[in-house]
Chain A
């Protein structure tokens, strides 16, 4: 580390003045970017631990001035948050498992160059990234299948995303054909090849996709808002948070929408809102350091083929 810094310093000094200035500006800009990215998080954290009456005087930075846990104790006043938490965990787990299974299975079929409908099915899924029937016809389809006000609204319509499908497919295409061929010689059928050969080899990309699905599920709120706004037994954490935050900002959006009318009129203090925000981010922050490399590899993989 020390020698590294020394050599960096030497390299720095060897440059022309204009390049030195460039280097200095570069580091200043990047440090600025770092601060801008992190500040909102730290500010929310500080406010959530700060005494509510003190926060009202303004000017809380990244450290709580008067430390307290009261804001978190207040959370018990929101019983819906518990249901929301439970449902959010449930949809994240079930959504990731089912989504992973379906995505990888279809990706395998589409990776097979001899599959008869390869082009047709691939195009069918890719097109969904760009064209859709629109909000209202989709809403009607959901109603026809009685998915609204049911937990399965969170799982069934989002089983496969075209983007994840491409990521997994391009990874499987990178697996040498000889492995599949030797499995065939051993008498394996296509299902067995998928389960015994492909899945074990694809663990890294499957981890990536599982994380993508899990994050999307955890963060989703719009499906609850649109398809189950009054169904308290399947409310989600993000939706509850949205109701509380929006209620406070009194910046209702689509006033005509039924969900908006029900939107909590109770205005909760900033401190409590921030405490709820922290609770909702925690799972992401905890998983994030371990998951980061999978996210990045998935993104790179998707971009190459995408």
Chain B
């Protein structure tokens, strides 16, 4: 690997002036420049829009004109935001659901991968894998449709629980706010467990089988082999994925909450993104919505920074 690295270097000048090197790489520049511009427009240009949060932005005929003529109001929108009770509900729901996701939703795929690895019957193993990836490929629109059918008062889950005697009367699960975080977490596991297990399974299968054989000779049972060989061998992968997930903590996503939630359980279902949609775009309060976006991004950046530091300390390489 090291040798290959050196091999490419000399031919395309590490030598020569900046202009000379640039000219030599002119084709590479042509091949990449449009995408750099594209990336700037769609990912970085919006950040200039953060100025809106400090203005009283009103959308007029010309967008740029309304941008430059807007009145400055300083931190007024932030003050308003931090006074709004609904904002704290949205924040609580965002953090609550993402923490559930990052703990339960993170452990289950690891357990699932280990269990798949323990299956001896090859056909059954392949079937499980194939079937478990399937829900990943359907949209949340469809998944939400299925889940609300499953959980509806006349749905199969109620049928099952009533005939098993767990419930006395039919319960519309999606109408109960207190259950919403749990439903979201379980739905997410249903949809993604097989898919998220792929990484761990790949890590497990790359473990040297000689280790297992040696452990078996030494009299280690299956649990001990899992505990002392499988888990330590994949701990690196687990750390990397965990740290990446921390960076995404406040980006919990909103499709699930949007499609499964309803007005009557808004106190439990509304996450920051939906709050932005409802107040920012829905009511045309663009400045206010932008202020929320800034708050969210700031939290995200802090978490990312912490996660990156953690990554560097634990594995010697950052995630960025």
A contact set with B: CB distance below 8 Å: 1, 4-5, 8, 11-12, 15-16, 18-19, 22, 26-27, 29-30, 33-34, 36-41, 43-44, 47, 58-59, 61, 102, 105-106, 108-110, 112-117, 121, 123-128, 130-141, 143-145, 157, 159-160, 176-178, 180-181, 184, 189-191, 194, 215, 218-222, 226, 238, 241-242, 245-246, 249-258, 260, 270, 273-274, 277, 280-281, 284, 288-289, 292, 295-296, 299-300, 303, 306
Contact = CB atoms under 8 A, between A and B. Distances in A.
Contacts of A130: 247-248, 251, 300-301, 304, 320
Contacts of B241: 303
A189 B27 contact: yes
Given A22-B222, A39-B156, A133-B43, A113 B5 contact: yes
A241 B142 contact: yes
Given A43-B156, A114-B12, A141 B278 contact: no
Contact of A132 (B43, B145, B193, B282): B43
Contact of B21 (A116, A132, A133, A246): A116
B81 to A, nearest CB: 13
26 contacts: A15-B222, A37-B132, A44-B149, A59-B159, A61-B156, A109-B31, A114-B9, A115-B28, A121-B35, A130-B301, A133-B44, A136-B281, A137-B290, A140-B52, A144-B63, A176-B4, A181-B11, A219-B141, A238-B141, A241-B141, A249-B262, A253-B257, A254-B274, A277-B145, A280-B139, A292-B133
Interface in B236-267: 237, 240-241, 244, 247-248, 251, 255, 257-263
Given A112-B28, A254-B278, A30 B262 contact: no
B135 A37 contact: yes
B217 interface: no
Given A40-B149, A300-B199, A306-B244, A135 B142 contact: no
Contacts of B133: 292, 295-296
Contacts, number: 307
Contacts of A280: 139, 141-142
Interface in B4-23: 4-5, 7-9, 11-14, 21-22
Interface of B: 4-5, 7-9, 11-14, 21-22, 25, 27-28, 30-32, 35-36, 38-50, 52, 63-64, 112, 115-116, 118-124, 127-128, 130-135, 137-142, 144-150, 154, 156, 159, 174, 190, 193-195, 198-199, 202, 221-223, 237, 240-241, 244, 247-248, 251, 255, 257-263, 273-274, 276-283, 286, 289-290, 292-294, 296-297, 300-301, 304, 320
Among A106, A194, A254, the most chain B Cβ lie within 10 Å of the Cβ of A254
Tell me the interface secondary structure of chain A in the complex: helix
A25 B212 CA distance: 22
Contacts of A106: 31-32, 35
A116 B39 contact: no
B282 A258 contact: yes
The 10 closest A-B pairs by CB, nearest first: A134-B293, A133-B46, A137-B49, A256-B282, A251-B262, A219-B139, A137-B46, A190-B27, A303-B199, A257-B282
Nearest to A37: B131
B297 A288 contact: no
A114 B14 contact: yes
Contact of A220 (B36, B119, B139): B139
Contacts of B273: 135
B63 to A, nearest CB: 6
Contact of B45 (A141, A260, A300, A303): A141
Nearest to A110: B32
Contacts of A281: 138, 142
